[in-house]
């Protein structure tokens, strides 16, 4: 049976990013896949330590991250997965620090320093990255978020063979805006988007999960 692993790079386990990942996994399950959702903020781990053990000729960790911590079992399961979905809110124009640390550990061991660079991955694994953000689609483009989103999609495709991205814009950040300094947007407009637009994003995520599971 196909296995689909989703990794949540948001510190909030029940909010926008997690909800979209859950919808994607529901879609994968509808296509017959076994699914798992991992919350990075539950784990104690580091990013790449630049030890180069994954590049050492004849080394026991060649092609694998040698660091052993709470992320290690997740990386092992990612290697066995038939499809992989990453998810993160956008913080200062890119994915969260925890997601970046995870991506370093996930992707770097596959990279071979040849010319051109190659991947040690020997099978095509469909992958996707789901993003949630406070800005509109127009603001995303004006502020060059697409550079980071495009890079992530590119490196996933070069490593695993296939990648796509899904973005959810102007998401609801807070349950009670009155408790916080917040005049960036109209809270009621954000609540209305949560009621009307976000369900459509969840439908798109569901379709993405089903597509990845079917193509795995």
Q: Name the pLDDT band for 180 (thresholds 50, 70, 90).
A: confident
- H or E element, residue 163: strand 161-168
More confident residue, 2 or 58: 58
What average pLDDT does this structure show over 47-69? 94
Say how many domains are in the chain: 1
Asked whether the predicted pLDDT for residue 57 surpasses 80, the reply is: yes
Asked whether the predicted pLDDT for residue 216 surpasses 80, the reply is: no
Whole-structure pTM value:
0.93
What average pLDDT does this structure show over 177-187? 85
Rounded to the nearest integer, the mean pLDDT of the chain is 94
**Three-class SS of residue 185?**
coil
Q: What is the pLDDT of residue 52?
A: 95
DSSP letter for each residue of 108-159: GGGEE--SS-EE---S-EEEEEEEE-SS-HHHHHHTTHHHHHHHHHHHHHHH
Q: Name the pLDDT band for 70 (thresholds 50, 70, 90).
A: very high
What average pLDDT does this structure show over 155-167? 95
Interatomic CA distance for residues 48 and 107, integer angstroms: 10
Q: What range does the domain containing 98 cover?
A: 3-215
Q: Which of 74, 59, 164, 72 minimizes the C-alpha distance to 120? A: 59
What average pLDDT does this structure show over 95-99? 97
**Terminal Cα-to-Cα distance of the chain (whole angstroms):** 10
Q: Name the pLDDT band for 1 (thresholds 50, 70, 90).
A: low
DSSP 8-state symbol, 181: -
The CATH number of whichever domain residue 196 belongs to comes to 3.40.50.360
Q: What percent of the chain has pLDDT over 90?
A: 82
């Amino acid at each position: 049976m196909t296995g689909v692993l989703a990794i949540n790079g948001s510190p909030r386990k029940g909010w926008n990013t997690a909800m979209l990942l859950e919808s994607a996994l529901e879609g994968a399950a509808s296509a017959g896949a076994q699914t798992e959702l991992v919350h990075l903020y539950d784990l104690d781990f580091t990013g790449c330590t630049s030890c180069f053990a994954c590049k050492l000729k004849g080394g026991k960790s060649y092609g694998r991250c040698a660091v052993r911590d709470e992320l290690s079992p997740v990386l092992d399961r990612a290697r066995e997965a038939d499809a992989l979905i990453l998810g993160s809110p956008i913080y200062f124009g890119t994915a969260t620090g925890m997601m970046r640390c995870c991506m370093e550990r996930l992707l770097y061991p596959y990279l071979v320093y040849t010319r051109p660079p190659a991947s040690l991955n020997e099978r095509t694994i469909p992958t996707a990255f789901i993003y949630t953000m406070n800005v509109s689609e127009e603001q995303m483009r004006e502020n060059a978020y697409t550079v980071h989103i495009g890079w992530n999609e590119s490196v996933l495709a070069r490593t695993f063979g296939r990648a796509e991205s899904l973005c959810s814009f102007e998401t609801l950040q807070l349950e009670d805006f009155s408790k916080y300094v917040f005049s960036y947007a109209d809270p009621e407009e954000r609540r209305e988007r949560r009621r009307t637009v976000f369900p459509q994003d969840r439908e798109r995520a569901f379709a993405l999960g089903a597509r990845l599971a079917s193509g795995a």
